[in-house]
Amino acid sequence: MNPMPSTVRIREVGPRDGFQNEPETIATADKVRLIDMLSASGLGRIEVTSFVRPEVIPQLADAEQVLAGVQRRESVAFSVLIPNERGLERALGMRERFDGVSVFLSASETHNRRNVNRSIEESLGGLERTLATARQAGLRCEGVISVSFGCPYEGQVPPERVFEIAARLAAAGCAEVGFGDTTGMANPRQVHELFAAARERLGGVELTAHFHNTRGQGLANVLAALEEGVDSFESSFGELGGCPVPPGSTGNVASEDVVSMLHEMGIETGVDLPRLIEASGAAQEVLGRPLGAQVLRAGPVDWHGGRGG
């Protein structure tokens, strides 16, 4: 077991991973306002949008308009999700508005087929070409491996397969590899084992944990990753998000819940928790429904009594 980190980096993925699952179209102006609120909360990394084909995810068809509208802060690194070479070509038209890209594929053949209609090998081949172009453009690259902890179609995913994919992504230029619990199947023991092995196999690569709270184990899995020395996490404000396939794959672990727990443990994030909660409250108003984050409902811990602020 590695020493627990004293500081943690969080990438807020709600504006992409969260918004893409919303059935009603969110106005571009509302997206821009919410992202600006997230930037003002002290989050150092935000995944702003995706350059997926508009007909595939209509909610993110306004990627260029969102990037053009958001306020840039020197302290905040913006990234975009890139599905393929065509998506990167489109994104490069806005190159000055973001700092890095994330690419993705699944650790199971079935999930990858259902998600992007490609085999794992076909995805890797395309992503290797995409990453080469992104690096030439001076972009920092992250590779995200979906269903790293289990697949709803195939069940257990062999860790060796996950590490083989991770090694290919690292060799192609990913400075960071994210391990996604895409449908909330991970448990803390499994998280301990995977990250302990990943640290040995992927020296020099930033390891990132991306948990969903589908079965209520998101924070327990965050703690397990912390205990293995992981200091990079992805989360979504308000517990927005999920996975388009299969049904029932509800939201990411909530950013405000993660930040609240870390702060109570004495781990620094650089995030102003009340301002983050304010952003989630604004998202509730935009969406017209309550969101799932616990801290959004209860407020931060207040050791002096009453609701925190």
Which amino acids are annotated catalytic? 243
List of residues 6+ apart from 110 with CB closer than 8 A: 151, 153, 154
| Encoded tokens for 155 | 């069940």
- Count Cβ atoms below 10 Å from residue 172 Cβ, excluding itself: 19
Taking a C-beta distance cutoff of 8 angstroms, is the pair 72, 97 a contact?
Answer: yes
CB within 8 A of 54, min separation 6: which ones?
60, 61
- Residue 304 CA to residue 102 CA, distance in Å, equals 42
Sole residue written with tokens 């969110």 = 26
Q: How many residues does the chain have?
A: 309
Q: What residue type is 159 in one-letter code?
A: P
What secondary structure letter does DSSP report for 300?
Answer: S
Query: Which residue type occupies 221?
Result: N
Distance between CA atoms of 118 and 150, rounded to whole angstroms?
19
